[in-house]
Structure 1
């Protein structure tokens, strides 16, 4: 006899399928709208700032992560030559600087990094440079919008909030314009374009998440990387490595019939999988699933959608949506409609 807690979640799959169709359609429309509207607005505004001399020596920039590196490229384009110390697939907090890394940081025209304790070794090396030769991307993020844990440690992953990333865009633009004065107009135009894209991404995400009631917006994971994302889009984020969060996760999963929990690539050490194995079929339903890993610590290969900040962000949103509102299994739709 199957107990109530072990019984697979049962929901009408017709609304779920419809939501899946609507979600796919919305995502396609939103993506086109971002490109069409954002690009059109940005192009008009970029033209106002164009006209700088183009034949200049590229600025050598060293960054901490691939996420920071892409922002530099988005703003500086061909006027920058960027190298990231932490490569794709490397967890920033686990990277140990080599002598070559320290030398590159010491000789770069500009050093750009996230700050807030992300990659302490990189920060220590960067702080040996003059203030005019380094940029802390989180320096202009309002303090009241930073998230601290119970021990007072500030969460460094502000870039998972498109609205907070705009503070980094503006700050980096100011510094790049000083370093690349002949093309300052073009860099300013790029700032406008990037911020329009971020604003469009924010609105797009809000629209897509309308299908998930706020009471059901639950991210059960084994870390706090997505804390800023959760705050912006009204999710409850529970880190099962914390005892109180683990107990609350069991309660919320059963109350909301949450179908999926979410690991993050490169962090957690399998703690979420261990937690799920320990509680599945006992404290939480046997049917609860483990989503594919969310990506946040590095960007994917350049030829993949996750190779850009916008592409990776959208991929994460899609993974979360399909995890919380999964499509019905093949044949399930027709069976339930007959019933």
Structure 2
């Protein structure tokens, strides 16, 4: 596991860390973030000192998303705009380059050490952007969010650093839970079949073979040849569960199940995973920790492990 006990801010020695983000002063920082995951990081670090707007809500696919007129208005009024980068928001890149000439705009995943990133055959010159699937990798993004907030409001550096240390501790605990809960999945069941290739970093961290029906972008097509090949794999290896995603239509996954059934092999839907978007606003699953808690618990339970029904802290499915 990566050592995350330092911060990019150099203020990790703050002695008294609050149990929740510390209270605000006047003049909240207006932050716009593209994805829910980045927005959650900004809220965790900024606490009551920031007002954060997420452009993409539950079930929204960032690979295909294009800015709306209201998005443009929000971003041009913001003190700070945070986007992911690594070609995740592929349809918006030109817009962000233009906006950066007028506003403070930060691609928070672009600062990650490139030797930690996965390449991909679909995009020879690009990296897999789905780094939030690994809490260890996401810690780098969270630190870059903290750096950007501090640069925008230097007077609040100590507060942001305290919140950062607290949240990094939460990510450590989440990563430990993931390893513990998936350890009960039998080795022969450690195959994760999903709608698109968003879970490569999960597979690398937790010892799973990952098969996505589509590539790392949902914009790539799942052709009949790919569906047929994956059906053959399900049958030959007796894989009993596949997973749908909240931000990707499930029709291709249903085709997989039907194709396997036609060859005499029953495949079930193991559950619905959060891939490129988090849960509904106001729920536990609308936080980064809740999103990954849900995924870890759902995957492990469907593939044969004994799991706590309500997840790491008994919060899954609790609603608001």
Shorter-chain TM-score: which interval? 0.7 to 0.9
Matches within 5 A, 1:157-236: 157-236=130-209
Compared with structure 1, are the counterparts of its residues 192 and 63 closer, same or farther at alpha carbon in structure 2 (3 Å cutoff)?
same
Task: Output the CA distance in 2 between the equivalents of 1:187 and 1:110.
Answer: 15
The number of aligned residues is 280
**Conserved? CA contact 1:239–1:245, under 8 Å:** no
Corresponding position of 1:98: 68
Backbone CA RMSD of aligned residues: 2.7
Specify the SS of the correspondent of 2:210. Answer: strand
Which of 1 and 2 has higher RCO (CA within 8 Å, sep 6+)? 1
Compared with structure 1, are the counterparts of its residues 178 and 159 closer, same or farther at alpha carbon in structure 2 (3 Å cutoff)?
same
Moved over 4 A (4+): 242-246
Corresponding position of 2:273: 294
Task: Output the CA distance in 1 between the equivalents of 2:236 and 2:115.
Answer: 34
Task: Output the CA distance in 1 between the equivalents of 2:276 and 2:235.
Answer: 26
Corresponding position of 2:318: none
Task: Output the CA distance in 1 between the equivalents of 2:102 and 2:205.
Answer: 31
Compared with structure 1, are the counterparts of its residues 89 and 46 closer, same or farther at alpha carbon in structure 2 (3 Å cutoff)?
farther
Matches within 5 A, 1:1-339: 45=14, 47=16, 54-128=24-98, 129-130=100-101, 133-151=104-122, 152=124, 153-240=126-213, 241=222, 243=225, 247=229, 250-251=232-233, 254-255=236-237, 257-267=238-248, 270-282=251-263, 285-286=265-266, 288-325=267-304
Q: CA deviation at 1:54?
A: 4.5
Task: Output the CA distance in 1 between the equivalents of 2:49 and 2:280.
Answer: 22
**Conserved? CA contact 2:182–2:305, under 8 Å:** no
Unpaired runs of 5+ residues, structure 1, are: 1-43, 328-339
Compared with structure 1, are the counterparts of its residues 266 and 247 closer, same or farther at alpha carbon in structure 2 (3 Å cutoff)?
same
TM-score, L = length of structure 1:
0.74
Instruction: Using the TM superposition, name which of 155-164 and 95-104 deviates more.
Output: 95-104
